[in-house]
Amino acid sequence: MRIGYYLKTSILAASIWLASLSGVNPAKAIAIVPVNLAANGAFEEANTSPWVITGTTSAISIQAKDNHTEGGTHSAAYWSASAFHFTISQTIEGLPDGRYRLSAWTQGGGGENVSRLFAKDYGGEQLSADITHTGYAQWKQSQLTHINIEVTNGTCTIGIEIQGNDGNWGSLDDVTFTRIGDTESTSVPLDINPIQISTIIHVAPQLPTVVKAVYRDDYSYKTTPVTWETVTENTYAQTGQFQVMGVVQGSDIPAIATASVTLKSADLNGDQAVNVADLALVVYYLQAAVGTANWEVAAMADINNDGHVDIADLQRLVEQMVRA
């Protein structure tokens, strides 16, 4: 049986995944303090030159206020009486190939048009994470975490871009840039997050083209293309659940999509209840089928979606009335 096969395979896959998790010692993982590769990320050093400000340079400066750093005093604070747009960034060089993570703490009054953390020029497309401010001293940590910055050219430019309106204000502090692991080319194994999808009976399920692949060494993840096995029509010709397996490059376990197949709603008149009013509609359209003149409207009474309105649809409707 197909379903039996899927079940066995998925139990096997889940067991492998659980086994991979059980070997992790959380206490040990916490003890590792990653090196911050961003220079003067806390804005506490007299040498501010690693940071380059472009655009409305008058709107931001390093000041002895609004500090977030433990034991520190300074932050990069911004404000302008008129509209402004700046980036504050630094380029880090001499980076070994690998995956990196960027993080920053910020606070402010909000209302900016653009407010984001970014990483670029590392060998891939610019990555960014939006920052939302909600008030004074309400520090937020923004991270490019689950998008890996995969450095391949030895360098990376990190920074924050703010495009604000008259009177917008805020401050930035504790920018960190850390190496989190090797590149994919060195074969860090990937686990694949299971997928849940639903479809209506006789309608092919829409399987995603990408799945979330989790790196086993640090649990960061990326989206990656998946190739699903062919799903035959008879698989979704009845209600219930079935599983579809997919292949993801770089992962030794399959992607698993669990599809739920449901009937069409029996609430034909859309009044949020399944009752005799809906039953009357099925009765009214009995014997309509694909190709009959009234099919365009009658199709809604085809609850099991098999192309004709008949006793089977009445039965499905009654079942839902009883359940309700």
Q: Rule CB under 5 A: which residues touch Ca ion?
A: 42-43, 67, 69, 72, 74-75, 173, 267, 269, 271, 273, 278, 302, 304, 306, 313
Question: How near is the Cβ of 281 to Ca ion at its closest, in Å?
Answer: 8
Question: How near is the Cβ of 152 to Ca ion at its closest, in Å?
Answer: 31
Nearer to Ca ion, 72 or 123 (CB): 72
Nearer to Ca ion, 37 or 195 (CB): 37
* Closest residue by beta carbon to Ca ion: 69
* Ordered DSSP codes for 294-306: THHHHGGG-TT-S
Question: How near is the Cβ of 288 to Ca ion at its closest, in Å?
Answer: 9
What does the alpha-carbon distance between residue 104 and residue 66 come to, in Å, rounded to a whole number?
14
Nearer to Ca ion, 154 or 240 (CB): 240
Question: How near is the Cβ of 265 to Ca ion at its closest, in Å?
Answer: 9
* Cα separations in angstroms, 225 against 9, 90, 179, 212, 318: 21, 33, 25, 9, 43
Question: How near is the Cβ of 47 to Ca ion at its closest, in Å?
Answer: 14
Residue spans of beta strands (DSSP E) within the chain = 52-55, 60-63, 75-79, 84-93, 98-108, 114-120, 127-130, 135-151, 155-164, 169-181, 190-192, 195-200, 210-215, 221-225, 227-228, 240-247, 255-262
Pairing of strands 98-108, 221-225: unpaired
Nearer to Ca ion, 69 or 178 (CB): 69
Two structure tokens written together for 75:
């932050």
Nearer to Ca ion, 112 or 173 (CB): 173
